[in-house]
Structure 1
Amino acid sequence: MQPLLALALVILSFNLLPAQMLVRGRAKDATTEEGLAVATVQVVGTYAGTIANDDGAFTIELPQLPATLRVTYIGYGSEEVLLSKLPDDVLEVRLVPVPFVLEETIVTGEDPAVRIMREVIRRKQEWRPRIASYMVNAYSRRVLENDTSIVVIGEIASEIYWDREKGFREVIKSKRATANNEDAGFDFGSTEDFINLYDDEIEIVENMAIGPTHPEALRHYHFELVGQRSMDDKKVFDITFKPKSKLQTAFVGKLAVLDEEFGMLEVGLVPVENITASIPIPIFEEFDISYQQQFRPFEGVWLPVDFRYEIGIKIGMIGLHFPLIKIKALSRLTNYQVETGPAGKSEIAQEKIGEGTLDSEQLEESQGREEREMESDGKAALETDHPGGLEIELNAGVEREETPGGGTDGGEGEERKDEQTQASVSVEVKVFENQNRVQVDSVAVREDSLFLRLENRIPLAERERKAYETIDSTMSMKEAFKPTGFLTRFMREEKKGIGMNDTKEGKEGEKESSGNSQVAKKKGLGRRLKPDFKPELWFDRVDAAHLGMRAEKWLPRRFFISASGGYKTGLERWAYGLGLKRTWDGKGSRWLEVSYHTGSRTRYRSDSYERIYTSPLSLLGFTDYFDYYWNESLRVEGEFPLKRIGARVRLGAGDERHSSLKKSTGFSLRGDGDQRGNPAVAEGRLRSLTAKVEFGGRYRPFGVTANRGLSVELEHGADWLGGDFSFTRYRLALDWHAPTFFRRRLAPNGLDLRLVAGGATGELPLQRFGVLDVALGPFTPFGGFRSVRGRPYEGEEHVALFWEHNFKTVPFEILGLWGLVRRGFGLVMHGGSGRTWISAQRRDV
């Protein structure tokens, strides 16, 4: 019974896909018999076509017979082959080289390439805006290699949709990979890394580089005519280009332009050194990338017919080196359906996506179910079958009756064509309604279990074919890219091939689980309730050593509980605290917290430093940055967003008891230091109300990203609250970042500004003074006086403006010191001005 079922499934899988008429051939040089790499092959009278592999081999599907194939290659005469039946063997197509006789040229001050590119750019500005949308069939292959062999191969067949306003969408119809793909996680979409090299600006590694056909390309590139070839009866101009400035975010390469049409036939380019060398990852020893692409005209517009790139990455540092990581990718685009004209809804009326329409009810139900499941866990994400994509299911909305010749029944052809048109328009609308750029047609992928859609692919190279035969699921990424160096001994390795149940512990655990399920359930509950522990360790002249621990745990219904405790060896006292927090959304933007804490606190708040940063310096005998006091506090605080104005509001109330502390130690690892005494504070009970409004991001002194934000704080303590202090304290902090030079780069030069100001009315206690930070050790973050060390400036009122311009690696690029550029060295100019005020009455005290 099972063999019959398997046979039925095989027969069914053949019937689910249209009959294929595949032609396998090879494009050759008629003189040398060598294969013509990446030769283009087109079915005359259609938009169906393909490209050859590096050996000249190609595979193409014919829509019908008879059919005429046209093979073209720059520098050769095109060859047309009429096929009335499918060839029995590989079709050999020999192209004859066309010698080109150079015409007389008049030498002027301007290279002829400039005139040619000026016309290419002008014509592009005429036809490019006419493209409203298009659909195209894509075949893509990705090959991952190390420095000795192929590690994994992946292939997909997909349909790509592009709309002028909505961008790309892709629906994967079939996919195939080597047996170790699950371990490699080598799922991809053609559009995830696709680049149209005809674009004005080309994104590469988050840099926006100027393309060779950019409207301002003649200002930024040197173009040089280096040769001419023929393609049939037309000239082809070979032009090299390179940026006029070595600091420009641009490319170096070569392109070919078809005379009379002035369209770019092909282009090959690599990014300039400042793009790859200035990637902010110092462990990249090497980073090489190159792109190639061919173009052909479709209904008066030039569109890509392929896309190829190679990436080589070498990662390493002292004591740790990884093998070369090489990615080779190619994509073929064929069967364009182009919609030209003014911007608007595309109405491509061709058969797409499994000859059917999206089942919108199933899709909406699936999405709703997933959203509800995620919401219950406090997450705001969808599980996907593909990175960045959503698995979708398609139903056959249009049935076709196949004739023996593979066509539709002529009696109802027009009616069925109308049905297909309506179905395909509906499909396209549904594809763009889904916000995921890459989607998987899971039904089509399952139906194509024999990879029939992938038969019409760019033929595999011999080493790729062998890789499919020899690579199995045991070839892991860890083994393929196993590092070398003395640091590898400290890296944890997971043992493969030994199951848990094969070990003594595993067998005992299995026996215990089967013998006492209730105990196992209790252990599972215990694991779920087990908190996360974090050490709290610091050293200063008052606490001496603080030896503590903090425990945190998320509870059901978005409750968060925390507890801390520690012993202070200098004070010989315990400190402890407890907090309970409740959030109302998965992002943590709405919350309410009640907390109690008793222990030593820093007398003033620093925007740049915490105890974890100052403790090592104190331990080494450097000046202790902070002063301290004892604080027993009970606090209620909450935060909520104001979405209309893009703000976060935090309100709070506190009841605190303050008392002074004395210096307890002068110990340092270098010997007894001369640490200053710890000043007394105004003792008593402080009850206050606080409010804080924030716009933009929160200030992060050691953050990688730029700071942009505004923060306004207010604290009010009054007699009517039952406290011993009556004052109002206010503070403002404004951070801004503006890119200045080389804005096309991933990390452009930038100017950072930080303005801080604060003041008070009433009798402000010493432990509420504001401060301006100064330098602490060799690495001082932006936002402090880097030329001043020791103690911060403090006062009842304060104001300061800090500025910093980061030139990044540009100065070293100008000097040609690429070794420093690759290691991330940059040049920063910094300045700051500020002042604090203390009342005369307070100074006299």
Structure 2
Amino acid sequence: SDGTRRSDGTRRSDGTRSGDGEREYPFHLYLYADYTNDSENRWETATYPNLITSAVTAAGGQDYGDYYQKEAWAAELEALLPIPGRIRLASGIQWEKHTSFDSELLQDWSLFGSHDPRRPNPRIDDGRLTSLTLRLGNTPEGRAGARPSGFGSQRAFEVRLEHSLSSTLAPEPHQPEPFSPPFQRPETLTFTKLDGEIRWSMPTFYQRRFFPNALHLTARAGITFGDLPLQRFDAIDGSLFQYSPFGVLKTRRHLPYEGDRYWLIAAEHDLQSILFERLKIRPLVDQGTGIILFATAGQSISKRRFLDYQPITSDGVHLEAGFSINRIAGIFRADVAFRMDQPGFFIGVSVPRYF
């Protein structure tokens, strides 16, 4: 269906006349259906698309993911709401079957044959899951559209809710360590998961310039009620090899933190080339080279204590700060990060920020 608010001063169906200055906000409904039968990453990364993680693995780097087999049917109804901001509200249902990979199906391989043995791929909570989903946001691509671009300003948000209707997902039998705290292992895993993210940019100083100084913020958080399956855990990303884009914990190397509860806040202030202008270093000013100051904090928590595999959590708040030299030769950015809660240091590269 389609409805539109008029902005040309014409008469509405109720006999009133709209103002000449009003904008049009169309209302649209979309229906999506999807079938998937493929291998999936066990955790959801908010930063790295599969193309990047696969390229690192193929080049001989450490595999960033853990994998399982998923067969799923999904249907979703999405509404583009007739309000400013192109806000989208969507509700859907998913029928899924999750299966752990057999170890003999996993192979050590890289393009040039120079790589370390692949780390073990942990088993998941096998079974079937039917769940309802609800999401609200302003990105047509959903979660992928809310990923930080790193090179430009963003104003995007999304909130997601998933509730399990029926589940045969069950944890593997596990013998607890001696003297460990008592717990009751559930026969099946049921849960309600709420998470979301927001990315916001705003000009700060020298706003009359074509590229003013700007503050860029991103925040993510999630909480689970019930027992979340291992393959629904979220991840707080770290640096991938020496690649460290905006929105990750740069001093967290290789594998991400994971958990059924988490939060992350990242901020960076792009000072553009102001410092080099003050120092009268004309070659850097002419190239547009600038300075960025950044700070990031995050924490992940897992209450799962009945697994042979224990999720990698942050064990407290991970806090870091540092600076970047931006647009070196106009094509890349060098990051220098210092961990603040304990000793740690990182030097990496990422895409340059232009605005």
Same fold by TM-score, threshold 0.5 exceeded?
A: yes
Whole-angstrom distance in 1 between the partners of 2:106 and 2:279 = 53
Do the aligned residues in 2 keep the contact of 1:650 with 1:693 (CA within 8 Å)?
yes
> SS of 2:116's equivalent?
coil
The 3 A distance-change label for structure 1 pair 813 and 779 is farther
Indicate which of 647, 655, 673 corresponds to 2:116: 673
Whole-angstrom distance in 1 between the partners of 2:267 and 2:306 = 31
> SS of 1:673's equivalent?
coil
Q: Does 2:212 correspond to 1:772?
A: no
Q: Does 2:273 correspond to 1:825?
A: no
> SS of 2:55's equivalent?
helix
Q: Does 2:92 correspond to 1:652?
A: yes
Q: Superposition pairs for residues 6-25 of structure 1, below 5 Å?
A: none
With structure 1 as the length reference, what TM-score do the two structures score? 0.29
The 3 A distance-change label for structure 1 pair 803 and 672 is closer
- Compute the displacement of 1:796 (Å): 1.0
Q: Deviations over 1:201-221 (max 9, x none)?
A: xxxxxxxxxxxxxxxxxxxxx
Q: Provide structure 1 residue ranges, at least 5 long, that are not aligned to the other structure.
A: 1-432, 434-586
Q: Which residue of 2 aligns with 1:186?
A: none
Indicate which of 76, 79, 97 corresponds to 1:637: 76
Structure 1 or 2, whichever has the larger Rg, is: 1
- Compute the displacement of 1:749 (Å): 1.1
Q: Superposition pairs for residues 792-807 of structure 1, below 5 Å?
A: 792-807=256-271
Q: Which has the higher helix share?
A: 1
Give the partner amino acid of 1:592: L
Whole-angstrom distance in 2 between the partners of 1:588 and 1:604 = 34
- Compute the displacement of 1:713 (Å): 0.6
Q: Which residue of 1 aligns with 2:156?
A: 709
Q: Deviations over 1:123-158 (max 9, x none)?
A: xxxxxxxxxxxxxxxxxxxxxxxxxxxxxxxxxxxx
Whole-angstrom distance in 2 between the partners of 1:635 and 1:725 = 20
Give the partner amino acid of 2:152: T
The 3 A distance-change label for structure 1 pair 752 and 712 is same
Whole-angstrom distance in 2 between the partners of 1:678 and 1:653 = 29
Do the aligned residues in 2 keep the contact of 1:772 with 1:784 (CA within 8 Å)?
yes
Q: Which residue of 2 aligns with 1:598?
A: 37
Whole-angstrom distance in 2 between the partners of 1:701 and 1:695 = 14
Whole-angstrom distance in 2 between the partners of 1:725 and 1:837 = 18
Do the aligned residues in 1 keep the contact of 2:73 with 2:95 (CA within 8 Å)?
yes
* % identical aligned pairs: 32
Q: Superposition pairs for residues 214-229 of structure 1, below 5 Å?
A: none
> SS of 2:152's equivalent?
coil
Whole-angstrom distance in 1 between the partners of 2:291 and 2:82 = 39
> SS of 2:305's equivalent?
helix
Do the aligned residues in 2 keep the contact of 1:696 with 1:708 (CA within 8 Å)?
no
Q: Provide structure 2 residue ranges, at least 5 long, that are not aligned to the other structure.
A: 1-19, 21-25, 170-187, 310-355
- Compute the displacement of 1:737 (Å): 1.6
Do the aligned residues in 2 keep the contact of 1:700 with 1:707 (CA within 8 Å)?
no
Q: Deviations over 1:91-132 (max 9, x none)?
A: xxxxxxxxxxxxxxxxxxxxxxxxxxxxxxxxxxxxxxxxxx
> SS of 1:820's equivalent?
helix
Whole-angstrom distance in 2 between the partners of 1:783 and 1:696 = 18
The 3 A distance-change label for structure 1 pair 777 and 810 is farther
Q: Deviations over 1:45-103 (max 9, x none)?
A: xxxxxxxxxxxxxxxxxxxxxxxxxxxxxxxxxxxxxxxxxxxxxxxxxxxxxxxxxxx
Q: Which residue of 2 aligns with 1:622?
A: 61
- Compute the displacement of 1:779 (Å): 3.6
Give the partner amino acid of 1:819: P
Indicate which of 691, 694, 705 corresponds to 2:137: 694
Q: Which residue of 1 aligns with 2:177?
A: none
> SS of 1:638's equivalent?
strand
> SS of 2:290's equivalent?
coil
Q: Which residue of 1 aligns with 2:246?
A: 782
The 3 A distance-change label for structure 1 pair 753 and 682 is same
Q: Deviations over 1:317-358 (max 9, x none)?
A: xxxxxxxxxxxxxxxxxxxxxxxxxxxxxxxxxxxxxxxxxx
Q: Does 2:212 correspond to 1:743?
A: no
- Compute the displacement of 1:765 (Å): 0.4
The 3 A distance-change label for structure 1 pair 589 and 826 is farther
- Compute the displacement of 1:654 (Å): 0.6
Do the aligned residues in 2 keep the contact of 1:731 with 1:758 (CA within 8 Å)?
yes
Q: Deviations over 1:245-294 (max 9, x none)?
A: xxxxxxxxxxxxxxxxxxxxxxxxxxxxxxxxxxxxxxxxxxxxxxxxxx
Whole-angstrom distance in 2 between the partners of 1:593 and 1:732 = 22
Q: Which residue of 2 aligns with 1:115?
A: none
The 3 A distance-change label for structure 1 pair 809 and 700 is farther
- Compute the displacement of 1:703 (Å): 5.4
The 3 A distance-change label for structure 1 pair 596 and 837 is same
Do the aligned residues in 2 keep the contact of 1:757 with 1:800 (CA within 8 Å)?
yes
- Compute the displacement of 1:651 (Å): 1.1
Aligned residues: 263
The 3 A distance-change label for structure 1 pair 703 and 841 is closer
Q: Superposition pairs for residues 67-216 of structure 1, below 5 Å?
A: none
Higher relative contact order (CA 8 A, sep 6+): 2
The 3 A distance-change label for structure 1 pair 672 and 778 is closer
Whole-angstrom distance in 1 between the partners of 2:308 and 2:43 = 21
Do the aligned residues in 2 keep the contact of 1:753 with 1:803 (CA within 8 Å)?
yes
Indicate which of 153, 165, 169 corresponds to 1:718: 165
With structure 2 as the length reference, what TM-score do the two structures score? 0.67
Whole-angstrom distance in 1 between the partners of 2:83 and 2:307 = 45
Whole-angstrom distance in 2 between the partners of 1:703 and 1:788 = 18
Do the aligned residues in 2 keep the contact of 1:718 with 1:725 (CA within 8 Å)?
no
Q: Is 701-710 or 795-804 further displaced after alignment?
A: 701-710
- Compute the displacement of 1:764 (Å): 0.8
